Amino acid sequence: MTTTAASAAPTLVRVSHDPFHNSSSQHKTEVEPDTVAFGNTIVSVFQVGRVANAGSADIGWATSLDAGATWMHGYLPGITKAQNPNNRYDAVSDPAVAFDAKHGVWLVASLPLSNTRPNSPAVLISRSADGINWVKPVGIAPRTQSADKNWVTCDNTPTSPYFGHCYAEWDEPAAGDLIMMSKSSDGGATWTRPLNTANFDAGLGGEPLVQPNGTVIVPIEGGNGIIAFSSTDGGHTWKGAVNVATVFWAGDPAGIRASPLPSTAMDADGRIYVAWEDCRFRSICNTNDIVYTTSLDGVNWTTVQRVPIDATNSTVDHFDPGFGVQPGTAGASANIGVYFYFFSNFNCNPSTCQLGVGFVSSHNGGSTWNAATVLAGPMNVNWLPQSQNGLMVGDYIQTTFVGTSAWSVFAVAFAPSGGLFDEAMYVPSGGQAIPRFGPQATSAYDVAHPNPRFIHHWRPLPPKSKKAAKASKAVIEHD
């Protein structure tokens, strides 16, 4: 990845660690963060103590109340036996965080996993008034056989007719990854019976976004790539999904766990951005770029564009984008920040692959892009914990803004020691600014090479149980 002298790596600050000792986890590991800011408060949630075949010992949180200057951290109560032997669940996965401005409450959605409870809530919602003190969770859809890849978001526009509505999304693998939606209008204390889309669509990894007029748009992996569906009545009904884009995917090297799940963001005008990893701009589709498309209505989408982090003939493979837009900016003046993972050379094996974390930005809505910054690395993939789908940093990261600075919490690993891993959550000190001066790159003249051999044929995963697999058994799932 090409950088400039002005893009020197910042100091990284560790914001959490794995304190647990349960025998089912790979310890001193933290993976899969989601991060959201509101005002000067930043809250990140993540898996702590990754269990190889599903979930983690608990969901950790790291919170800053002063725009990232200082951080506190802890672990959600009332979920796993590792956190308290009296809790119900053996593991927990897929954390996502949102803020409900109307009710002044932070919400964390997660997936509970149990060895002994075949029917558990599809999703747990943990709540906090300050991002620090969390109460025991409430459940959505209390008797669910299976659930995967949940997300949560809230309508925070005071002029919206549905101000204060929060929306939870997940899919049910036992039903062919049928998409499920639930809403809350009381700060996450209670949730409605789950609904499907009008076409009973299936998908994975949806991320709802609420436009200023209250319309909810949910991009999600499905079909031959990315699809999207919406609600215009506050989540009372959900329209059938439309196609957003076909995905062309080269796969990622070294046994890393990665896939073209969407990362979403929205500008101040309600324009939706959807980003993912894709190989269409590589002549032989041998490595992936970060690409994106946009829409104002969730139905009509722009031509897919590449984020020009490096040349289309480079050896760099990019994945796990966290795409963010600075609140209050829009259109040709939108400030965009993208945190991402990358391999410096895709032609490698688990012993030679060098993994890093990068950041790239645009001050003009993606017309041109600043030089990228390397934030972390090189990391050896053997420093990462196993999951049932590969070596793991997470299925997603997220970019959020405090003022003009872009923030993300992400997993960084060092060499294991004493039989334990050394993978934890870090932030770049001070966040990342969006430069308005300096060398610029553009993808305006890039040529796509959409090779049908590399179309990512999304399909429902085999049915999975809510049961957290014992170490001696394999489970096919995405947690």
How do residues 64-99 score in pLDDT, each as one tens digit? 999 999 999 999 999 999 999 999 999 999 999 999
Distance of CA 188 to the CA centre of its chain: 21
What's the whole-number mean pLDDT along residues 45-69? 97
115 class by beta-carbon count within 10 Å (0-12 exposed, 13-18 middle, 19+ buried): middle
> Which band of pLDDT confidence, cut at 50, 70 and 90, is reported for residue 119?
confident
d(CA 296, CA 211): 9
- Judge whether residue 479 has pLDDT over 70: no
Between 119 and 193, the more confident residue is 193
Pairing of strands 56-64, 354-362: unpaired
Tokens for 68, please give them.
């990232």
d(CA 394, CA 403): 27
> Which band of pLDDT confidence, cut at 50, 70 and 90, is reported for residue 15?
very high
Q: Do 134 and 126 meet the contact criterion of CB atoms below 8 Å apart?
A: yes
pLDDT tens-place string over residues 125-172: 999 999 999 999 999 998 888 899 999 999 999 999 999 999 999 999
Mean pLDDT of the chain: 93
Q: Do 445 and 33 meet the contact criterion of CB atoms below 8 Å apart?
A: no
pLDDT tens-place string over residues 163-217: 999 999 999 999 999 999 999 999 999 999 999 999 999 999 999 999 999 999 9
> Which band of pLDDT confidence, cut at 50, 70 and 90, is reported for residue 286?
very high
In DSSP terms, which residues pair with 96 in a beta bridge? 109
> Which band of pLDDT confidence, cut at 50, 70 and 90, is reported for residue 117?
confident
Tokens 């976004």: give the residue: 209
Q: Do 414 and 352 meet the contact criterion of CB atoms below 8 Å apart?
A: no
Tokens for 56, please give them.
């983690």
Q: Do 441 and 369 meet the contact criterion of CB atoms below 8 Å apart?
A: yes
Stated length of the chain: 479
> Which band of pLDDT confidence, cut at 50, 70 and 90, is reported for residue 34?
very high
Cα–Cα–Cα angle for 439, 441, 444, nearest 5°?
A: 150
3-state class (DSSP) for residue 298: coil
pTM of the model: 0.94
- Judge whether residue 4 has pLDDT over 60: no
DSSP letter, residue 214: S
pLDDT tens-place string over residues 304-334: 999 999 999 999 999 999 999 999 999 999 9
